[in-house]
Amino acid sequence: MITRSLKYIDLHIHSNHSDGSFDPIKIVKIAAERKLAAIAITDHDQVSATFEAQSVQDQYGVEVVPGIELSALLDGYEIHLLGYLFDLHDPAIQQFVKIQKHYREKRAKSIVKRLEKLGIRVPFALVKAKSRNGNYGRPHIADVLVEEGHVFSFAEAFQKYLGDEKPAFVPKLNIHPQRAIKIIKDAGGVTCVAHPALNIDDDLIARLVDLGLDGIEVYHPRHTSSQVEHFSDLAQHFGLLKSGGSDCHGIHDDGGMIGRFPVPVDFLEKMKDRAKNDIFAFERKKEKN
């Protein structure tokens, strides 16, 4: 077990409200056991888990920061953006998650139909039972494929059928990064580009900065030490906030990685300062107009 003083945070965690396996309260309990000061549950296109986690944050002494992971598309590049510190009740946020929830159900049904055409019957009722609050994802279908004996493992489900460009693949509903950034900013939050080492080069990050990007995820399980250093330097060059987290999905990453990386609580304090200053600037602009 990881034991630490309250100096560290984990700002990239997924719950069973999207494609993770841990429920929100369990995530808070694990964070408390590992003595984290704060966490963010950044489910894909969903914020319901944060409400649930926040209901026990005082009990466990762990701050639960509003978070979300948005999928965006820019010139053919899929970009994941992490939103933090926004108003969970903001009408635009709520409308966005409602639209995404509807599309995810439609997408899941399309995947099931493609599997049927391949001779693989997956009852949608079983997929629905896996989904929390109807926020369907490919991992829910993968779990059913394993349980029904169509594949031997979760990984095989993606390798054979569900992965990008595989026979049953159906693309996500991606939005333009400028819109994603605006949704978060208008709700009082900040945005950071997620796991940039995976598929984003420095030129693309520079373009995102021009679109209003606030920060960059420096610490991530798939970032090497040299990449951590590089993205830290890049953050300093562009005046970006720094973020980091485990990208924990639960049992599919060996029982959970929450708090694995020494992400300093200072990262969060600087995010709060940026969000507060942006709100003040926005209010001053309104007063002048």
Q: Say how many CA atoms lie within 13 Å of 25 toward its Cβ.
A: 4
pLDDT of residue 230: 97
CA–CA separation, 248 and 218 (whole Å): 16
pLDDT band at 134 (very low <50, low <70, confident <90, very high): low
3-state secondary structure of 79: strand
- Categorize the per-residue pLDDT at 279 as very low, low, confident or very high, splitting at 50, 70 and 90: low
Residue 6: what pLDDT?
67
Residue 67 DSSP SS3? strand
pLDDT band at 280 (very low <50, low <70, confident <90, very high): low
Q: Which residues contact 32 (CB under 8 A, 6 or more apart)?
A: 60, 61, 62
Quote the crossing angle between the two packed helices 202-210 and 225-238, to the nearest 10°: 30
Parallel, antiparallel or unpaired: strands 67-74 and 77-84: antiparallel
Q: How many CB atoms lie within 10 A of CB 192?
A: 29
Fold of the domain built from segment(s) 8-95+188-288? TIM Barrel (3.20.20)
C-alpha distances in Å from residue 169, one per residue of 110, 124, 175, 188: 9, 16, 19, 35
Q: Which of 19, 25, 32, 34 is nearest to 259 (CA)?
A: 34
pLDDT digits 0-9 by tens, 135-174: 888 989 999 999 999 999 999 999 999 999 999 999 988 8
Number of H helices, E strands in the chain: 11, 9
Task: Place 2 in a pLDDT band, splitting at 50, 70 and 90.
Answer: very low
156 burial (CB, 10 Å; 0-12 / 13-18 / 19+) is middle
Q: Which residue is listed with tokens 């040299």?
A: 226
The arithmetic mean of pLDDT across residues 5-13, rounded, is 88
Q: How far is CA 246 from the centre of its chain?
A: 11
The number of angstroms, rounded, from the C-alpha of 42 to the middle of its chain's C-alpha atoms is 4
* Helix H or strand E encompassing 94: helix 91-117
Residue 239 backbone class (left: φ over 0; alpha: ψ -120 to 50; beta: rest):
left
Mean pLDDT of 78-100: 96
Over the stretch 191-224, which tens digit does the pLDDT of each residue have? 999 999 998 999 999 999 999 999 999 999 999 9
Output the pLDDT for position 150: 97
Confidence of residue 278 (pLDDT cuts 50, 70, 90): confident
Radius of gyration of the chain (CA): 19
288: Cβ contacts below 8 Å, ≥ 6 apart: none
Residue 266 tokens read as 């200072």
Do residues 15 and 61 touch, judged by C-beta distance below 8 A?
no
pLDDT one-digit tens code per residue, 22-32: 999 999 999 99
pLDDT of 245-259, one tens digit each?
Answer: 999 988 665 546 899
53 contacts 84 by C-beta, under 8 angstroms? no
Prediction pTM value: 0.89
Q: What mean pLDDT is reported for the chain? A: 91
Per-domain boundaries in the chain: 8-95+188-288
